[in-house]
Structure 1
């Protein structure tokens, strides 16, 4: 019998039990639930999350507003500088008599280049001056064109280092001149010519790798690539039809492509010689030419040549009086008025007892090969004819094929822009005003662009 002091009583059923009957019970942790407090916590957590989202959104908008503010400040600064510049031009123009600055070309038919001509023609124009605002250095730049609709420069660059790489660089003409690179395919050879389309945001590239490529400056992708018979030295867009493009080849041929046909050229025409076609220009539509025929003007060392695409059996022909001016090194064309300016350097004279590899330099040829006394010759296309209007002396490159341009919209008359290889200035010539402004000569490693 269990002693009474060792007896226990169950608190629930009141039965007596012994020590052996006792068991340890493990109960779960008991927490008092406060439903209202939990709801309040969840509500506060939701409010914190909402405030955080609003804070992030405001931070993003603040960054965007600061960027817009910076852009607007830069634009205001640019417009103020532009206004001061224009006011200076206006004061300069008002202080000079009308027609006080003019350039003169030798008269029609004269090859004496200016000084000994019997007659001169000229035209009065308003005074114009230019001010260099900024030099922008771009490493490895070779050639560029301007996309006026997007206000950007398209620059072909050749980067050295771990394997040579060719890229296109888009650079804004608006401060702060932001830049973006378009990487060309691996193995893409040097770009010889570059033309921005007048119809869309695409660029035409002529490559020494026997390629003619179309690159989109909007998506930064190569749209089309054509294989060529020879290296491409020049290219051009058709002025009247956005689908047609042209390429001048190293072997003297000119080929026409239709971008709607990606397999082969529409037409290939063999040149009069095998001299490389270093410049191609699509001509503006001519009402005297039959429908479907597209005129193209080219330049090679032998002179200027006219081509008709779309005419059965059509052969190119030399522009009269362009084959005896010397070696043609540059060609500029103004489609608005059919103005043409070709640049020439003297032909190298050979003595009778020397081989071709040992030329005898003429008196006008620079021994260093940098600058020689050459000429700019002005032509006019009137219907299906070309008229030589005059010529003027110029310091031109003795070794390179420089670029020149006819600029519209600067004054009442177009201006012809070219580089003076001796003075390292940029010449603006015409049967209009002639202006000199500071110019830094381009080299193979950098290009300086005046904004």
Structure 2
């Protein structure tokens, strides 16, 4: 058919103008011929452009399939064809893509397993995602500013409460001074009446819990309302040392949890809801135990027996171990292989009997944070900076047996045995302070004694004392310490240095621990074989 058309066109071109019949005949034939032979260039371009956007092969203009010879296939350039069509095209057209003339060969054909091929316009979605990220950044910025404002408010509130407490103390001292000079007025109660009113708001005996095994320490998990007592294993078949759990709700004895192979020297809690307990033992290990599952979850080995331990209250990932040689090891719970830092003692290598973490507080007299250590030769404060720990020896003389830190007032209570310079037990209430020295802005940390409370003339055991907020007055602080000479626990007011109460016991007091549950304030006093519970009335 094509040859015939060419012949006719040649004849028409060679025919003279006087042969109109020939021209009309040829024109009529072309006009009446099939559509594929009379398509104009403009319609052809529109057809190709339309076919490129359709779901069909651009060679045969037939829809491709997902199986068979005419299944969907592509070249390296990305254009789509039917498999049989592109194979024939590459075989006879010199190895080029029908659409972009890119070099191609039969080995470049890749079969595509797809039912349909569509391109999704994600412009609006991408724009929405960018706007969402921008809004998130603005929200985080607003939340950060709100948190900083809230922190400033809390610091200002703490400073206001501290000033109010100091003002109340000055008023009380002024009133006492006026009373001592002029005598009690008729409207004021007499000394006997004041004494009886104080006795009405002190601790009274509630119950006692007998203990099996050698008891030594007390601890309280406020998150779960559980008292723990360190003691030897009650089962002779499984020797060792662990803790006895006691419910603070009904004072009922619960499980015994085995932890160490030798005696436990210190217990402290993380304060989190997971109920993690940190224990130090003379078996040269520091262990973290979950009281929810009653199992040891982490063990750290040390070169010397561990006498004291504590958590980093600003970052619970870090724990501290005070060793018998006077050094402190810093452990990271994320690195279980070894300690991350060692703090060597600045003085003699004396055992650390107590260790407390002091958080930073820019509004207090001690602005910096760090570790407060009590040793058998005195006390020391390790200031924690962003890069290192700096030691600051404290002016504490004597053999320290207990050291407690109170966070609201940032005061510490240090207990000392009798020695050649002091013939009785001493409990020093100290206020920690720091001041900037030098051009590099370093802190010089120290402490000064606010009150001294005296006990008996003997103390053979490492009795632990307590410094806590008064249940009757949140603005007052109480001091409680065991006294071996009188076989009792003594209670003082840290604000007025007044003796308040003598709590009799059945033996030397080893540890005292105040706790509160359901708005009920209680005091636990531990001896070797008995745990006594006293309630604030």
Q: TM-score range by the shorter chain?
A: 0.5 to 0.7
**Correspondence for 2:462 among 394, 397, 401:** 401
CA separation of 1:287 and 1:98: change in aligned 2, threshold 3 A: farther
> Is 1:182 matched up with 2:257?
yes
CA separation of 1:379 and 1:208: change in aligned 2, threshold 3 A: same
Contact 2:383/2:389 (CA < 8 Å) preserved in 1?
yes
Cα offsets for 1:47-75 (capped at 9, x unmatched): xxxxxxxxxxxxxxxxxxxxxxxxxxxxx
CA separation of 1:304 and 1:183: change in aligned 2, threshold 3 A: same
Residue in 2 that maps onto 1:205 = 279
Cα offsets for 1:393-425 (capped at 9, x unmatched): 212653211111112242321111101211112
CA distance in 1, matches of 2:348, 2:471: 38
Shift of 1:277: 0.2
Cα offsets for 1:115-135 (capped at 9, x unmatched): xxxxxxxxx999631111101
The number of aligned residues is 309
In the superposition, the TM-score normalised over structure 2's length comes to 0.53
Shift of 1:196: 2.0
Q: Gaps (5+ residues) in structure 2?
A: 1-187, 435-444, 511-526
Shift of 1:176: 5.5
| Equivalent residues in 2 for 1:23-34, closer than 5 Å | none
CA distance in 2, matches of 1:310, 1:199: 25
CA distance in 1, matches of 2:298, 2:193: 49
Shift of 1:96: 8.4
Greater relative contact order structure (CA < 8 Å, 6+ sep)? 1
Cα offsets for 1:178-198 (capped at 9, x unmatched): 41121236xx22111111222
Q: Please give the secondary structure, in 2, of the residue aligned with 1:199.
A: coil
Contact 1:128/1:435 (CA < 8 Å) preserved in 2?
no
Q: Gaps (5+ residues) in structure 1?
A: 1-93, 103-123, 350-361, 365-372
CA distance in 1, matches of 2:189, 2:533: 26
Residue in 1 that maps onto 2:409 = 337
> Which runs of 4 or more aligned residues in structure 1 lie more than 6 Å from their structure 2 counterparts after TM superposition?
94-99, 124-127
Residue in 2 that maps onto 1:136 = 209
RMSD (CA atoms): 3.1
CA distance in 2, matches of 1:448, 1:256: 33
CA distance in 2, matches of 1:98, 1:150: 42
Residue in 2 that maps onto 1:223 = 297
| Equivalent residues in 2 for 1:117-136, closer than 5 Å | 128-136=201-209
Residue in 2 that maps onto 1:391 = 452
Contact 2:353/2:400 (CA < 8 Å) preserved in 1?
no
> Is 1:164 matched up with 2:236?
no
> Is 1:381 matched up with 2:464?
no
Contact 2:383/2:392 (CA < 8 Å) preserved in 1?
no
CA distance in 2, matches of 1:285, 1:311: 12
Shift of 1:154: 1.3
